[in-house]
Amino acid sequence: MILLSKKSWLWPFVAVVGLAVYLVSCDGKATQPKPVPDDPKDYRVYMWDAEHPCWRFGYHPTTGQVDSFYAWCDGVSMEISPDGKTGYLIVGNLPGTYVVDLDSLQNGDTLTVLDQLPYAVLAFSPNGELMAVYKDDGLYVLWSSDYSVLYRDTANIGFQAFSSNSERLYGGGRGVCVVDLSDTLFPITRKSFIYGSVYAVAPSLDETRWFLYLKAWTGDFYFAVYDVTLDSVIFADYLVPGHGELELSRDGRYVFYSNPGTMAGGKPGPPWFTVYDVEKNAIHKQISTVGLFEPPYEDGIPVGEFCRTPDGRRLAIAGAGFPHLLTLDIAAMEITTYIKAGSGRRFQFLRCQNAP
């Protein structure tokens, strides 16, 4: 690990290595999220179509409308600024990131490049002050105001995630790694698990629990809940075929996790996803997609990726290997909007702004 001052750096032009990023909620002081406006906003959830890589799509969870935008054929994941006005599209042949204008984007437009950055932008802190980026020599946390370096780590830490108070950075991989960015010494907490590697991690609001998507050495998967105080896994759900992700509700009450499998892995996952109740330490319900669509999809589809809108009202959901998009009303725990977007679509890398 190398610690750098805010001004002591110079960025070279580097190759980009793509990493999956999960924006999660946590708060060491156990404070609740800030209030959101009473009037619901139709946030746009952006995504990439693996079958049509030259295009970017925007899904409106409230109405089910899908917008399309022309981009670059070698662009994949696009992170969104906390206010939703700017996109950061990782493009492999730069190598680096295109900064694109989303503020006035209309259906059918071509993305307008505002800037080019020589590294892969992975995530923004909820307060918008920090950004996690990746170069070929490791992970960096930058001040978003001037791109100067707060923290650098040469270790191979995957699945970076800022806490909701923007003071800590969580990472997965062989175990969980937590970096305290509020301390100038940047103390690190590490924890490994006998289940296997950490596919994804999200802490509870008070950080006394970690919600884990684990990949066992045997290739099996688990959703698990680790109690930090007890230093023990207090809940586990065996998942076959796995390869899913997890997302927290804004109030920290529920954790959503999927079990889709992969297109190359044989049998797809079941046509439902699971909701875990944090207070009860038990499964709240399994939400099914059976009966939502016309034949040949009447038996339901497995779902893969989630993206929660920043007001906490809705969960945008993509079918795993299927051209379907759905919306969950989180308060009602019901799927309210669902569409088949067209044959040959395969949506991945769902992203939305993280500030209301």
Instruction: Tell me the C-alpha distance between 205 and 26, whole Å.
Output: 4
Q: Are 327 and 338 in contact (CB under 8 A)?
A: yes
For the chain, the farthest-separated pair of C-alpha atoms sits apart, in whole angstroms, at: 60
Domain-embedded: residue 287: yes
Strands 158-162 and 149-153, bridge-based pairing: unpaired
Instruction: Tell me the C-alpha distance between 117 and 216, whole Å.
Output: 36
Q: Are 173 and 198 in contact (CB under 8 A)?
A: yes
- The domain containing residue 80 runs over which residues? 45-163+259-351
Chain centroid, CA 41 distance in Å = 20
DSSP conformational letter for 294 = -
Q: What is the pLDDT of residue 157?
A: 64
Domain-embedded: residue 125: yes
174 φψ region: left (φ > 0), alpha (ψ -120 to 50), beta (else): alpha
| pTM of the predicted structure, to 2 decimals | 0.86
Instruction: Tell me the C-alpha distance between 1 and 273, whole Å.
Output: 38
Domain-embedded: residue 139: yes
Tens digit of pLDDT per residue, the chain (356 long)? 333 333 332 232 222 222 333 333 333 344 466 666 666 788 999 999 988 888 899 999 999 999 999 988 888 889 999 999 999 999 877 779 999 999 989 999 999 999 999 999 989 998 899 999 988 888 899 999 999 999 998 866 666 788 888 999 998 888 999 999 999 999 999 999 988 899 999 989 888 999 999 998 888 899 999 999 999 999 999 999 999 999 999 999 999 999 998 866 667 899 999 999 999 999 999 999 999 999 999 999 999 999 999 999 999 999 998 999 999 999 999 999 999 988 788 999 999 998 88
Domain-embedded: residue 175: no
Domain-embedded: residue 22: no
Cα dihedral sign, 227-304-164-252: negative
Domain-embedded: residue 37: no
292 exposure class (CB count in 10 Å sphere: 0-12, 13-18, 19+): middle
Q: Are 316 and 273 in contact (CB under 8 A)?
A: no
DSSP helix/strand/coil, 204 = coil
Domain-embedded: residue 71: yes
> Cis bond leading into 203, ω under 30°?
no
279 exposure class (CB count in 10 Å sphere: 0-12, 13-18, 19+): exposed
Q: Which amino acid is at 274?
A: T
DSSP helix/strand/coil, 185 = coil
Count of domains forming the chain: 1
Q: What is the pLDDT of residue 3?
A: 37
Domain-embedded: residue 298: yes
